[in-house]
A and B are shown apart, each in its own frame.
Chain A
Amino acid sequence: MSERKLFGLTALFQTPDEIIHAAAKVHEAGYKKYDVHTPYPVHGMDAAMKLKPSNLGFVTLIFGLFGAAFALLFMYWAMSKDYPMIIGGKPFFALPAFIPITFEVTVLLATLATVIGMLTFYFKFPNNSQPLHDTPYMKAVSSDKYGVCIEANDELFDPEKVRNLFKELNGQNISEVYFPIVETFKIFEPKYLTLLVVVALLTSATTYLTLNKLLYITPFTWLMQQDRVNVQSRSTFYADGFGMRNPVEGTVARGFIPYEYKGLAAPVVPLSNPLMPSSEVLKLGKKRFLTFCSPCHGNYGDGDSRLRGQFPNPPSLHSEKVRGWQDGNIYHVITNGQNIMPSYASQLSRDERWAIIHYIRALQKAKNASPSEIIEAKKETSSNVAQ
C-alpha cells in the first residue's frame, strides 16, 4: 500500500488574500503543473497565476457562425430548391421570414457548443476518478477554504521543497494526495452475463410491445381511424342508405362534354380537328391507336385484324371512302360506334380521339403517297445524307 503513486501536495489557506499571494508565489517558484482550488471564482486569480484569458469565445463564435450559415442555407435549399412553394406571396428566398429561425439556430448551436466544448475539451469532464476527489482537501475547498495543489509530475517537483514553500506561505493542512487504487472488474462473470441477458430480453420485449401494440391502442390511431363517411360505404344519415351523394341532375363532369350527335349517321355540322398535328399529338395518337384501334383495324389500318375469324373483318382505313371523309366523320364513328364497332367515348378522351385521327391521316398519307411526295419527304428527312 505504501507503494501508491503520489499525485501531488496540497495546502489550505484561510482567506482570499492569502490564496492570491500563495498562487503568485507558486507561479514565481516556476511550477507549471499546479492548480488553485476555491469554492467560488476569486477575482484577481488570473493575474496571480498569470493565466492567459479564456479562448472559449472562439468556440462560440465558430459554432454560432456555423449555425447561422447552416440554418440560412438549409432554408434556402428547402424552400427554393428542393420543394419550392409560393407561400403568402413571398419570394422563394424570403430573407426576412428566415431571420427568426436563423437566429434561434445560431443561439442554440453556439450555446450547446460552448457548454459541451467547455465540459469535454477544456475540463476533460466527466471525470470522477481524479485523485483529488474524496479527499479532505477537496471537501474543504468546496466549502470555505482556499487551496493550492502542486502536482508530482511537474518538472521542478520535490516533496521537501514544496512542503517548505507551503510552510513559508503559511499554508495549513499540508498533505500528500495519492492516485487511487484502480479497481478492476471481470466482465465474463456469470452474474454479469445473466444481468446482460435479462437487460437485453427486457429491452427487446419492451421495444416490441411499445412499437407494435402500445402505439396503436386508442387514441393513438395514427389518423387511420376517423369518424367520416368513406367512399362506397353505407350511411344511416341519408334516406337512400348511401354514403355517397349523386351529382345534381344534368351535371357535366369536367372535360366530358356530351356528344351532341349521338345516334345520328353523321355529324350535322362538320367538326374540325381542334389539335395541331404536332409530334406530341402524333405520338399520343399512335399510342392510343395501337392500344384501342389496331386489334381490329391492324397496326397500319389495313383491316388485317389480329382477331380475324372471330369477328367480321373491319374495313381498311385506306379505302377511298375513309380517305374522303372529313375528320368529323371519323370522330363521329369513334365516338358513336358503327355497325359492330362500339363507341370508344368512355375509353378515349376527346383529345385522344382527335389525336388518333391525326395519326390515321398520317398513316393514310404514308400508304397512298405519290412518288413526287415521297421524294419530297425523303429530301426533308435525309437532306444531309449524300444521295
Chain B
Amino acid sequence: MNIDYSQELPVIERRITLAEIDQLIAKPLDEKPDRKFFIALSITLSLLLIGVISVSFLLFFGVGVWGLNQPVGWAFDITNFVFWVGIGHAGTLISAVLYLLRQKWRTGIARFAEAMTIFAVMCAGIFPIFHTGRPWLAGYLTPYPNQHGLWVNFTSPLVWDVFAVSTYFTVSLVFWYVGLIPDFGLLRDRTTSKLKKSIYSIFSLGWRNSHRNWMHYEKAYMLLAGFATPLVLSVHTIVSFDFAVSIIPGWHTTIFPPYFVAGAIFSGFAMVVTVLIFVRKVFDLQHIITLNHLEKMNKIILLTGSMVGYAYAMEFFIAWYSGNPFEQFVFINRAFGPYAWAYWIMVSCNVFIPQLFWFKKIRRTIPAMLVIVIFVNVGMWFERFVITVTSLHRDFLPSSWGYFVPSVFDLGTLVGSFGLFFTLVLLFTKTLPVVAISEIKAVAEGAQPSHNGGNH
C-alpha cells in the first residue's frame, strides 16, 4: 500500500465547521439522558453497590474478611491498586507525553483519557486505604506535627507511594481542570438554562477567550505537560519500588520500574480503547475519535505489550544468570507451580494475543480489537496478581508456604471498583464535554491562519 508519510492525516475526518463541533460535542450535555443511559447506569451502580456492601463488611469485621493471610499478606488489594494506577497512566501519557511530542491526533481522545486517569486513580486509592483496616485513620500517612513527635518514615517506599499517588491525582485533576476552563466558558455562553449557566460560570471562573489569557494558558499547559510526563513515569516507578525495594525473590529486581511503566501504559491504552470504542459509537463521535486514533493506540499496545513480553523473558534469564537458587526457584514455581494457571493466562493475554496487532486489518477492525484489548486488560490484572501472590506464597520458610484463595469480599471489592469506574465514566459523559472543544477547534482544517503558507 502506498502511504505518503510526509503528510499528516487530518485529525478530524471530513470538513466540519466550528459551530458544528460545539453542537456535536455539547449534544449529550444539552439533551436529557435517554433510556439506554439509565440502563447502563443501573448496571454500573449495581456493581458499585456490590463494592459498597463488601467494603461495609470489611469496615465492620476488619481485614480478616479478605482472603489474605500469612504468608500471602498482600493479594487482591495491591493487585487491584497497581492495576488501577496502571490504567490511569494512559491518560497522562496521551494528554502530556503526546502533547510534548506534538502528536495532534491526541486532541480527540485526551480529555476522555485524562478523565479515565482521574477515575482510575480514585479506584486505585480505595484498596490501600481499606487494606489499612481503619481508613478513617488514613491521615496518619501524612507527615503532620503530632503529640508523639513522630514523623512518617520518609525512606519507606510505602510513604513514597502516598506522595506519588496523591501528587499524581492532584496534578492530573489540575491538568484536567485547566483544559476544561475554556470549555466551561463556551458551555456558559451557549446554554439557555439558568441553573446550568450559574454552574458553568462558577467553573469557568470568568474565562473570556482573551488572547492575552490564551498566551499564558498555552504556556501553562505546556509546563503542566512537562511536569506530568516525568510524574507519570515516577508514579509507576515508585509503585514498583513497593516490591523492588523488598528482599523477596521475584520482587527484588532492578527491571521493575521500566517493566511496570511499560505495563501501565499497555493496560491503560487497552482500557482507553475499550471505553472509546463504545463512546464514539454511542455519542456519534466517529469522525472526531476516528479509526486512525484507535489504530495508533493499537500500535502503542503492540509496542508496550512486546516490551512487557521482553521483561517476562528477561526476568527468567536473570534468574538463571544470577545463579541465585531462590530466584530460580521462584520463577520455575511461577511457570509450573500452583499458580501456573495464572501465569499462563498472563503470558498468553499480554504477550501472544496482542501480536495479532501486527496485521493492519486487525488493528482497524473494531470487534477484533475489542476482543484483544479486553484480553489485555485481563492479562494485565493477572500480571499484578502473579507478581504479588506467587512471590509470597512460597517464601524462604517452607513451613509457612500457603495458597491464597480470594474471599467473596475480595471479589466484591474488585467488582465494586469496576462499578465505581464505569459509573464515573458514565456520569462524566453526560456532564462534561468528552472531547476538548477548544483544542479540537484549534486543529480543525482552516482553523489556523494561512498567511505564511500554512507551514504550521
Contact = CB atoms under 8 A, between A and B. Distances in A.
Interface in A119-166: 119, 122-123, 125-130, 132-133, 138-139, 141-144
B22 to A, nearest CB: 5
A114 B160 CA distance: 23
A69 B405 CA distance: 46
Contacts of A143: 18-19, 22, 186, 189-190
Nearest to A109: B167
Contacts of A139: 189-190
A128 B201 contact: yes
B209 A219 contact: no
Contacts of A108: 167, 170-171
A65 interface: no
Interface in A84-127: 85, 87-88, 90, 94, 97-98, 100-101, 103-105, 107-108, 110-112, 114-115, 118-119, 122-123, 125-127
B438 A39 contact: yes
B321 interface: no
Interface residues of B, number: 74
A142 B155 contact: no
Interface string A256-276: 000000000000000000000
A78 B151 contact: yes
A156 B50 CA distance: 68
A312 interface: no
B451 interface: yes
A101 B208 contact: no
Interface in B54-75: 59-60, 62
A43 interface: yes
B449 A127 contact: no
- Best-surrounded residue of B185, B227, B230 (most CB of chain A within 10 A): B227
Contact of B167 (A45, A107, A114): A107
A38 interface: yes
A40 B438 contact: yes
A49 B211 contact: yes
A106 B448 CA distance: 36
Nearest to A91: B155
A88 B231 CA distance: 27
Contacts of B427: none
A207 B275 CA distance: 41
B206 A128 contact: yes
Contacts of A17: 449-451
Contacts of B18: 39, 143-144
A51 interface: yes
A46 B182 CA distance: 19
A42 interface: yes
B163 A54 contact: no
Given A82-B149, A87-B153, A220-B136, A38 B206 contact: no
Interface string B133-152: 01011000001000001110
A222 to B, nearest CB: 8
Contacts of B213: 122-123
B452 interface: yes
Contacts of B441: 39-40, 144
Contacts of B153: 85, 87
A98 B155 contact: yes
Contacts of A377: none
A130 B208 contact: yes
A79 interface: yes
Contact of B216 (A16, A107, A118, A215): A118
The 9 A-B residue pairs with the shortest CB-CB distance in the complex, in nearest-first order: A144-B18, A97-B155, A40-B442, A127-B206, A54-B219, A125-B205, A36-B211, A41-B214, A100-B160
21 contacts: A16-B447, A20-B449, A38-B211, A46-B215, A56-B219, A78-B154, A104-B164, A104-B231, A105-B163, A111-B227, A114-B223, A115-B224, A118-B216, A119-B205, A125-B205, A126-B205, A127-B206, A128-B202, A142-B189, A142-B190, A215-B136
Interface of A: 15-17, 19-21, 23, 35-46, 49, 51, 53-54, 56-57, 60, 74-75, 78-79, 82-83, 85, 87-88, 90, 94, 97-98, 100-101, 103-105, 107-108, 110-112, 114-115, 118-119, 122-123, 125-130, 132-133, 138-139, 141-144, 215, 218-220, 222-223
